[in-house]
Structure 1
């Protein structure tokens, strides 16, 4: 008897992990951060409470199975008193069943949101720590599989949803399976037949029958639905690409609306992306339809097989109507729970695709990047060499030393790597060799200053929300020729969309005036301004803070040379 249970349980285990056997290591890596943290203690108690409720539900199902036998036996004997008692007992147990089932669902949802909150914060911290998001986008900018927004927002949610549903569902099915195999063994009696001139007697025949029946069906289901995992992965990828393209279209609406040709091109790209979604959807739905044909057939056959097998025993009078119904229900429960792999194949395939995507993201953002820049008292580059992510040499033999209070203009043709040099000095470009030193407190203004949503005062103070008084903000706006914005200083808007490119660059210079850094890097910080305005702002910086040390990168050569104390020429083959 024990051997039978071990064999059947083992078969269930093998079948259920068939699709997961290539991803169990990935699942383990994704589970460890939460379940091995101190925050998991209460969640562990929730999980064991849910398991206790699952066990109680299994016991209630056993009682209902016995009740089913007693009810049909009483019905066959027309025993009114027993039928009455059974009805009252059924109402009481049904009330307990509803309470346990509803609260189990509530606890699962509580565990779900606790886990999701922790895991989302965990990956957000990894994503933002040490500029990891920048390196990730840098290394995946030419690929269409990144979509980090989906991986943090959607894949984490779906991973937790599917994991809890599949894991708890498997545990419940496994518990039901072990329990009702014993019940089925006891009620199925012995199958007697003659073969090869020898009389055979097989005890617990229905257990063997259900095992063979489900095992064959499981392999057939795997054969039919083995493409579903790949198609689900493609579905998530195509959906994410389409959503990203829509966001890009909204972000660049002003550029697109001015060029009808660009609008048509963007429309064609969106249509093509959605066509990929549609094509993948058709392939997925066809595969799911074929699998569903087999699932429905399997479920229907499992309801009649026990009746066909027990009819001879029933006709021989070895089992009454209650026993027949009890055996039928036990067979159906064993077949249903033994068929967990068949019934959940589609969900398992989708879960595997989610694990693949989240694991890729996990590995990418845990990758360590070398920071070539050291902290020192001034900006120094000796025998510097800058590479591209693919290890191709961009610049070499760079030697720079910026003195205190001096302005150094970095000159070179477009695309040679001037901006990348500034990024390396800042310590955010990891593909470099040689000696790079920067002061601990250094500030950089890029061509496109970040403009957050909020009040204009918040925009000026960004990233610090310090107590810079309103009068200083107003005087700074006047200095950078943005006096017309003073009435809206405390207005809350999406300033990124309201301000022009030139106004955003003036905001960038205003922040420098407010911050007063000792060391400053300017990367095309006035490129959207006319030459007179650009020169006025740069002279304003130099006159306001004569002790400030500045590295300037600009294509406005005449302007940069007028404010620079010295010039460093970059050459590709230097």
Structure 2
């Protein structure tokens, strides 16, 4: 039990650290106004519930004495003075109208705060995830503690659940605290006293409610504490299963060509089996918890009547009091038993907080790690490597204290065995590789890197061709001309179409489209990492000719197994953890 309470207390600290930035942001005043309005409306509902218990007392007392006029008046009159009552009593119709209006707007404003909060969090989480290549460094980590599964789910679903559940549970907790203090005095006043073992216990129904709720809270913790890690694991396993389905959706052709359906079916089956097994564990534990909580709730409906009936039969209270006490007892006992009734939601909320907190910490660590590795200085007249050492995440060295100078206008061909580190060298020059040491002075001007497998953003074909530039900055005629240059003129009429182009286009067509991007961008330096490896010999010759013609002012540095791309290029080979010149 101590571990469970410590877990939830830790969760409160983590949740506050996640919520604090928003309520201290530029939107804080609007956030506090909405939060205050939601809290205020919920407190008004508590007040109306108190009034309704007294209305219930007056109503049933009138029924007991066959006072038809008072019964009718209590149903419809806007304000009525009841004989013997301290205050005028509003009619039930008016109470219901006011209650509905307050309840509707309390929920509406809660949703408004929820979506504003979620929007702010989503914007900042995406910014932090993408800035300083945190998303990239996380993917490279070899530390199990730094690996963050399914960041997409944490940003989309966990942020949604965190805001919704935090507001729901928070409002529910505040309402129950106010309910407790509002009704406990009412219960103390109307329950009277009882003698037990020679002692007179005033307001004894209050003590009965406290003992009943304390017992329920204790047993709920003992039964349900194992649900917290199970809920956390369920979210992870569900996300893993969904990710596997997405992989099949994104790679249908490759799977079909490999006849990999059986393997994919087995993988999906294994991942869903993990989902199923963990869910069964949750079901078994929840079944035990439900046996107790449902029974606890049902007994609470009749328990106060059983306790108060002796006073009714002794004629110490009337029918109105008999009907009022269970209502008031239920409010007090319900407030005291908030932990019992909210336990399943608290478990889910705790798992969500843990996932978001871990994600935020991993992103912060990844952003710090971005400053590690080779130091990239201010741009200079040439591309210079000085004492450059590159390692893999596991520590294996690829390049050891290499130095190199590349001048503008000097084309370069880089070769080497597979796995020697050619692509890693390009990543270091791009300033994204965090493992190694030494310094890199990038050249002045614009740089464009084309990997072997092009990336296709969501959007129209025109956006795909102009990426990473803005499509509105490039005319349609320019895009059509670039497509024609690389042999994709058949796509020119489809510039406005939005498709999954990575599935529609073949590997060779994708690489041609990437070359069209370079033609449009006109970079000062172009780095090609096997960027034409999927093309046949004739297509390679055509692309080489297009590069020489359309990018005559661009310095091209290429990793290629197709030989020369630009006449007179400098040939470097990466082997034995060093860079060496190769004679023409």
Q: TM-score scaled by structure 1?
A: 0.91
Which residue in the other structure is 1:412 paired with?
416
C-alpha distance 23-84 of structure 1, shift in aligned 2 (>3 A): same
Tell me the distance in 1 between the aligned counterparts of 2:495 and 2:211: 76
- What SS does the corresponding residue of 2:243 show, helix, strand or coil? helix
C-alpha distance 155-384 of structure 1, shift in aligned 2 (>3 A): same
Between stretches 317-326 and 99-108, larger displacement belongs to 317-326
- What SS does the corresponding residue of 2:468 show, helix, strand or coil? coil
Task: Give CA-to-partner distance per residue, 1:28-87, whole Å, 9 cap, x none.
Answer: 221022111011211211111111111111111111111111122222222222222222
Tell me the distance in 2 between the aligned counterparts of 1:315 and 1:488: 86
C-alpha distance 146-541 of structure 1, shift in aligned 2 (>3 A): same
Task: Give CA-to-partner distance per residue, 1:258-312, whole Å, 9 cap, x none.
Answer: 222x210001111111111111221112211211111111112223332232233
Q: Does 1:172 align with 2:175?
A: yes
Tell me the distance in 2 between the aligned counterparts of 1:172 and 1:18: 24
After TM superposition, give the deviation of residue 26 of structure 1 in Å: 1.2
C-alpha distance 573-444 of structure 1, shift in aligned 2 (>3 A): closer
Q: Does 1:529 align with 2:535?
A: yes
Following superposition of structure 1 onto structure 2, how do residues 41-440 of structure 1 map, counting pairs within 5 Å?
41-88=29-76, 89-139=91-141, 146-194=149-197, 199-260=198-259, 262-367=260-365, 368=368, 369-370=370-371, 372-377=375-380, 378-440=382-444
Contact 1:16–1:341, Cα closer than 8 Å, also in 2: no
Task: Give CA-to-partner distance per residue, 1:393-428, whole Å, 9 cap, x none.
Answer: 332212111012112222221112111111111111
After TM superposition, give the deviation of residue 319 of structure 1 in Å: 2.5
Which residue in the other structure is 2:453 paired with?
448
Which residue in the other structure is 1:500 paired with?
506
Contact 2:229–2:351, Cα closer than 8 Å, also in 1: yes
Task: Give CA-to-partner distance per residue, 1:146-180, whole Å, 9 cap, x none.
Answer: 11111111110011111111000111111111111
C-alpha distance 98-476 of structure 1, shift in aligned 2 (>3 A): closer
Contact 1:185–1:207, Cα closer than 8 Å, also in 2: yes
Contact 2:148–2:359, Cα closer than 8 Å, also in 1: no
Contact 1:235–1:281, Cα closer than 8 Å, also in 2: yes
Following superposition of structure 1 onto structure 2, how do residues 477-488 of structure 1 map, counting pairs within 5 Å?
477-488=483-494
Aligned residues: 555
After TM superposition, give the deviation of residue 471 of structure 1 in Å: 4.2
Tell me the distance in 2 between the aligned counterparts of 1:544 and 1:238: 50
After TM superposition, give the deviation of residue 513 of structure 1 in Å: 2.2
C-alpha distance 16-250 of structure 1, shift in aligned 2 (>3 A): closer
Between stretches 89-98 and 483-492, larger displacement belongs to 483-492
Q: TM-score scaled by structure 2?
A: 0.89
After TM superposition, give the deviation of residue 355 of structure 1 in Å: 0.7
Tell me the distance in 2 between the aligned counterparts of 1:321 and 1:456: 76
- What SS does the corresponding residue of 2:8 show, helix, strand or coil? coil
Tell me the distance in 2 between the aligned counterparts of 1:458 and 1:339: 56
Tell me the distance in 1 between the aligned counterparts of 2:40 and 2:459: 49
C-alpha distance 475-81 of structure 1, shift in aligned 2 (>3 A): closer
After TM superposition, give the deviation of residue 433 of structure 1 in Å: 0.7
Tell me the distance in 1 between the aligned counterparts of 2:163 and 2:552: 57
Contact 2:138–2:147, Cα closer than 8 Å, also in 1: no
Between stretches 542-551 and 49-58, larger displacement belongs to 542-551
Tell me the distance in 2 between the aligned counterparts of 1:515 and 1:241: 38
Contact 1:16–1:340, Cα closer than 8 Å, also in 2: no
After TM superposition, give the deviation of residue 546 of structure 1 in Å: 4.2
Which residue in the other structure is 2:557 paired with?
551
- What SS does the corresponding residue of 1:56 show, helix, strand or coil? helix
After TM superposition, give the deviation of residue 211 of structure 1 in Å: 0.8
Query: Mind listing any 5+ residue stretches in structure 1 that lack a counterpart?
Result: 1-13
After TM superposition, give the deviation of residue 543 of structure 1 in Å: 4.7
Tell me the distance in 1 between the aligned counterparts of 2:277 and 2:147: 18
Between stretches 180-189 and 561-570, larger displacement belongs to 561-570
C-alpha distance 323-545 of structure 1, shift in aligned 2 (>3 A): closer
For 1:567, which of 552, 568, 572 is the aligned residue?
572
Tell me the distance in 2 between the aligned counterparts of 1:110 and 1:37: 17
After TM superposition, give the deviation of residue 549 of structure 1 in Å: 2.2
Contact 1:15–1:341, Cα closer than 8 Å, also in 2: no
Between stretches 177-186 and 481-490, larger displacement belongs to 481-490
Contact 2:532–2:540, Cα closer than 8 Å, also in 1: yes
Tell me the distance in 2 between the aligned counterparts of 1:347 and 1:547: 63
Tell me the distance in 2 between the aligned counterparts of 1:492 and 1:339: 54
Between stretches 137-146 and 117-126, larger displacement belongs to 137-146
- What SS does the corresponding residue of 1:20 show, helix, strand or coil? helix
Which residue in the other structure is 1:11 paired with?
none
| Alpha-carbon RMSD | 2.4
C-alpha distance 304-480 of structure 1, shift in aligned 2 (>3 A): closer
Contact 2:148–2:362, Cα closer than 8 Å, also in 1: no
- What SS does the corresponding residue of 1:317 show, helix, strand or coil? coil
- What SS does the corresponding residue of 2:378 show, helix, strand or coil? strand
Tell me the distance in 2 between the aligned counterparts of 1:547 and 1:425: 20
Between stretches 166-175 and 29-38, larger displacement belongs to 29-38
